[in-house]
Amino acid sequence: MSVQGTKIDFSADRNRILKEILPVIRKNCDISNAHHSGLFSLCGLFLRLKDHYNWEHKNPPWNPTDKEQLLTWIDGKETLWLHCLDSSYEPIRINGHIFDFLNNQAVNQYLIPAGLYYGSGYGRGLKPTFFLGTVKEKRLVEGFTLIILEQDLACDLSPAPAQRQGRTIVIRLDPLRFFLWSKIQEMDQLEREGTDLALYYYGWDPALPPDNQLEPIVQSELETILFHELGEAKDRSFPHGLWRSLLVHFPFSRIELYLRTLKDLLADTHPGGTLNYIIREKKAGSLGFYLSNLKGLRHSLFPEIIPAIRKFKSQKDWTVIEQARKIGRKRLILQTLRIRELAETYIPPRPEEFSRCFEQEFFKPFGL
């Protein structure tokens, strides 16, 4: 791994820049949330709002949340969103220059010298997503620029712990902390099994305060999720242009969910991706968290990995994980080739036929 640290120069007037851009970015976050909150189930939306409330009030995720204050805050957010429904996304203005709200590359030329980073793009259901954070570290990893953000100053309801844009990978510690804490609290059987394995190897003691115990896990897991982003960047089995085109044709659909899951698993199983890193570094704690994430379609598309991890628990044999990775990847690539064939045949002239074939070939075998 090629790693080179870079000291961030904070000499620029951060407060002046924040005064100019922070209200705009927060407003754009509210507009996105107002228009796309329907993407989430009622339960999912409530949990996201609860985390957002704690983040906004600088409450650690393990602190109890006052229910009355939370509900009052949610009522206020819903009122704010109603006023945002007729609003348009605002451009970013810095030092007299005006930038499109999606042009984060140009904006960051001004922000990074001030120790700030602005992220923008499209998430699930083509929901516009935005964030602004303070830069903790910047380094070079295998030819990619890694930027680690210590604190989010603005974010929407889709706070992904990591994202990649071109040759830049950004990892956000605030969302990662909330994500890992949610795993620790998970009660679902499979997720609980994976989390218990992870916490065993990390030496978690439930009798001790969580703050000092969680941070070493955060620092370790950020390296693991980095290799998911690296695996995704290196994988060429599903051309990015085709993948994006299919998302545009089938937004808000289970085809979109399938395609996103498939691409994630291709990244995980790539020789330069998540599982290879876990195996190489013998990170049993990360393997446990990987198991805890294998629900829904991830479980269906990568069935080999669950019995392999359970076998590893008893035998401590990393070769069973590597065998599962190779077998799963081979099948995933075959699926990708078939999707490419269908796309070449039916996209763009007959997307309804693509959808019919996709349902028949990919969902029906799972009984979905």
Of 4-18, 22-36, 77-91, 247-261, the range with the lowest mean pLDDT is 4-18
Q: Which residues pair with 98 in a beta bridge?
A: 93
Whether residue 163 is predicted with pLDDT greater than 80 in this model: the reply is yes
Q: In sequence order, what are the residues at sequence separation of 6 or more whose Cβ sits closer than 8 angstroms to the Cβ of residue 205?
A: 213
Whether residue 228 is predicted with pLDDT greater than 80 in this model: the reply is yes
Q: 247-272, pLDDT tens digit by residue?
A: 999 988 999 999 999 999 999 999 99
- Give the mean pLDDT of the chain: 93
Helix, strand, or coil (residue 220): helix
Quick check: 67 and 53 in contact, CB under 8 A?
A: no
Quick check: 282 and 289 in contact, CB under 8 A?
A: no
Of 45, 33, 47, 72, the residue nearest 178 (C-alpha): 47
Whether residue 8 is predicted with pLDDT greater than 80 in this model: the reply is no
Task: Over range 198-226, report the average pLDDT.
Answer: 95
For the chain, domain boundaries: 3-170, 186-366
Whether residue 7 is predicted with pLDDT greater than 60 in this model: the reply is no
Q: What does the alpha-carbon distance between residue 328 and residue 150 come to, in Å, rounded to a whole number? A: 35
The DSSP call for residue 343 is H
Q: 281-338, pLDDT tens digit by residue?
A: 999 999 999 999 998 899 999 999 999 999 999 999 999 999 999 999 999 999 999 9
* SS3 sequence of 233-257: HHCCCCCHHHHHHHHHHCCCCHHHH
The proportion of the chain whose per-residue pLDDT surpasses 90, expressed as a percent, equals 86
Task: Over range 347-354, report the average pLDDT.
Answer: 94
Specify the pLDDT at position 9. Answer: 47
The H-assigned helical ranges of the chain are: 14-36, 42-56, 67-84, 104-111, 173-185, 189-202, 210-234, 240-249, 254-269, 274-281, 284-292, 297-301, 305-315, 318-346, 351-358
What is the reported pTM? Answer: 0.91
